[in-house]
Structure 1
Amino acid sequence: MTREVGFTVTHRHYVPHSHAHYGGNLVDGAYGLGMFGDLATEMCIQTDGDEGLFAGYSNVEFLAPIRAGDVIEGTATLTRIGTRSRGMDFEVRVVCRSAPERGDSAADVLDPPIVATRASGTVVIPAQD
């Protein structure tokens, strides 16, 4: 298992249209936070061999919209290692976005990606035997 500050895990996935809640095919801000939970779980498995539990966020920033049809990439970076707690920084970027003005299935790769959500949080893991 890797237990070094700076270790990262990354996930990518497509945002389905069934998740759009608002005009303009917007998804709610919690969508990115859900991805952060999944990233934190993998981070804990990679670093401690346990899924851990999310204790809380110390900061959350919603910087740009996430829309149905986007491909998003989320990254968690280990920033602090305590006895039973782990600090992490999170970021979700939109790496592809649909382009309905060009056609029903048209989409663009975004270069550079759009940073949609950032956060910092703490997870706890069980005491080591």
Structure 2
Amino acid sequence: MMDGTPTSTTLRVRLRADDTKYAGGVIPAAHYMQLMSDAGAMLGVMRGESAGYLARWESVDFTAVCHVGDYIEVRCELIRVGNRSRTMRTEVVKLISTDPGERGQTTKGIVHEPPEVVARGDYVSVMPRADLDSE
């Protein structure tokens, strides 16, 4: 989109203890899906549109595990725009892992270069009709 309207965005997050309920500080896959959806909502707002509502996941794959203390990046790219919908391609990558011997500590980490892919997914977001009627 050549008019200067954003077509992608990035969120960077450090995973916290309240992001999980699993032993060993493992982050649940549903948390990644929530962050991917948040990135798409952010992109909608950046475009001057509604944040939208999640309509459906077209695909989602989980390829690695993260733990409390890891740093991740959530990438979101607009791949299709309809009358009331947007389709986004999202990816979660791990930038820094906590040192396995230091889980939960803040002093040591392992930088992933290149970043490790944790999750990928495409989803559709819809804008409520009321938001379109007010434009």
TM-score between both structures, scaled by the size of structure 1: 0.87
Cα distance, 1:102 vs structure 2: 6.2
Change (3 A) 1:24 1:17: same
Cα distance, 1:54 vs structure 2: 1.3
Aligned to 1:127, the other structure's residue is in SS state helix
Among candidates 86, 109, 114, match of residue 107 of structure 1: 109
Which residue of the partner structure matches residue 116 of structure 1?
118
- Percent same amino acid at aligned positions? 24
Cα distance, 1:68 vs structure 2: 0.8
1:1-129 correspondence runs (5 A): 2-3=4-5, 7-101=7-101, 104=105, 105-125=107-127, 126-127=131-132, 129=135
Task: Provide, for residues 78-104 of structure 1, a one-character-per-residue CA deviation record: whole Å limited to 9, x for no partner.
Answer: 000111111100000010011142694
Cα distance, 1:8 vs structure 2: 0.7
Point out where structure 2 has 5 or more consecutive residues left out of the alignment.
Answer: none
Distance in 1 of aligned mates of 2:4 and 2:34: 24
Letter of the structure 2 residue corresponding to residue 109 of structure 1: V
Letter of the structure 1 residue corresponding to residue 125 of structure 2: V
Task: Provide, for residues 45-100 of structure 1, a one-character-per-residue CA deviation record: whole Å limited to 9, x for no partner.
Answer: 12243221111101010111121111010011000011111110000001001114
Distance in 2 of aligned mates of 1:51 and 1:87: 13
Aligned length: 127
Q: Tell me if the contact between 1:100 and 1:106 (Cα under 8 Å) persists in the aligned partners.
A: no
Change (3 A) 1:86 1:12: same
Point out where structure 1 has 5 or more consecutive residues left out of the alignment.
Answer: none
TM-score between both structures, scaled by the size of structure 2: 0.83
Letter of the structure 1 residue corresponding to residue 59 of structure 2: N
